Structure 1
Amino acid sequence: MSDPLPKVILRLIRQIIFWPLEALLVFILFGTARILPVAIASVCMGLVMSLLGPLTPWHKRARRNLVYAMPHLSYAKQSQILRGMWMNLGRVIGEYPHINKLVDKGYVEFIGQEHIRDVETGGFLISAHMSNWELGPFAARSVGKKVAAIYRPLNNPFLAGLLARRQRTFGGEMFPKGREAALGMISAIRKKQFMCLLIDQKLREGMAVPFFGHPANTPIGHIKVAIKKKVPIFYVQMVRISGCHFRLTISPVIDLPDHDDDDSVLEAATAINKTIEDWITQHPEQWFWPHRRWTKDI
Structure 2
Amino acid sequence: MLSRRALKARTLAVADWLFAKIVVGLVRVIRLLPARSAIDFGGWAARTVGPLLPVDKVGLENLEAAYPEMAPEERRRILNGVWDNLGRTSAEFLFLDKVFDFDFDNPTAGHFDVNGIDQFLEIRDSETPCIVFTAHMANWELLPVCAATFGLDVSVLFRPLNNARLARELDAVRGGAMGGLIPSQPGAVAALDGILARGGHIGMLVDQRFGRGLTLPFFGLPAKTNPLLAKLARRHNCNVYAARTVRMPEGRFYMELHGPIDLPRDGDGEVDVEGTMRHVNAIIEGWVREFPDQWLWLHRRWRV
Fold match (TM-score > 0.5)? yes
Distance 1:224 1:190 in 2: 14
1:170 alignment counterpart: 178
Answering whether residue 274 of structure 2 is matched by residue 277 of structure 1, we say: no
In the TM superposition, what whole-angstrom CA distance separates every residue of 1:239-283 from its partner, at most 9, and x where no partner exists? Answer: 001243111000021111345999922111111111111111111
Paired residues of 1:145 and 1:193 also in contact (CA < 8 A) = no
1:96 maps to which of 74, 93, 96: 93
Aligned residues: 290
Distance 2:270 2:19 in 1: 42
Q: TM-score, normalised by structure 1?
A: 0.88
**CA displacement at 1:175 relative to structure 2:** 2.1
Structure 1 SS opposite 2:241: strand
Paired residues of 2:197 and 2:236 also in contact (CA < 8 A) = no
Gaps of 5+ in 1: none
Distance 1:182 1:193 in 2: 14
In the TM superposition, what whole-angstrom CA distance separates every residue of 1:104-131 from its partner, at most 9, and x where no partner exists? Answer: 3622221112123123213111111110
**CA displacement at 1:28 relative to structure 2:** 4.4
Paired residues of 2:140 and 2:244 also in contact (CA < 8 A) = no
Answering whether residue 198 of structure 2 is matched by residue 214 of structure 1, we say: no
How big is the alpha-carbon RMSD for the aligned residues of Structure 1 and Structure 2?
Answer: 2.6
In the TM superposition, what whole-angstrom CA distance separates every residue of 1:130-187 from its partner, at most 9, and x where no partner exists? Answer: 1001012134323211111112121122311212431332222x22224422112112
2:107 alignment counterpart: none
Paired residues of 1:147 and 1:171 also in contact (CA < 8 A) = yes
Distance 2:272 2:24 in 1: 45
Distance 2:146 2:238 in 1: 17
Matches within 5 A, 1:246-257: 246-257=253-264
1:224 maps to which of 208, 220, 231: 231
Matches within 5 A, 1:5-154: 14-17=12-15, 19-20=16-17, 22-104=19-101, 106-119=110-123, 120=126, 121-154=128-161
Work out the percentage of aligned pairs sharing the same amino acid. 31
1:194 alignment counterpart: 201
2:106 alignment counterpart: none
2:295 alignment counterpart: 287
Q: TM-score, normalised by structure 2?
A: 0.86
2:240 alignment counterpart: 233
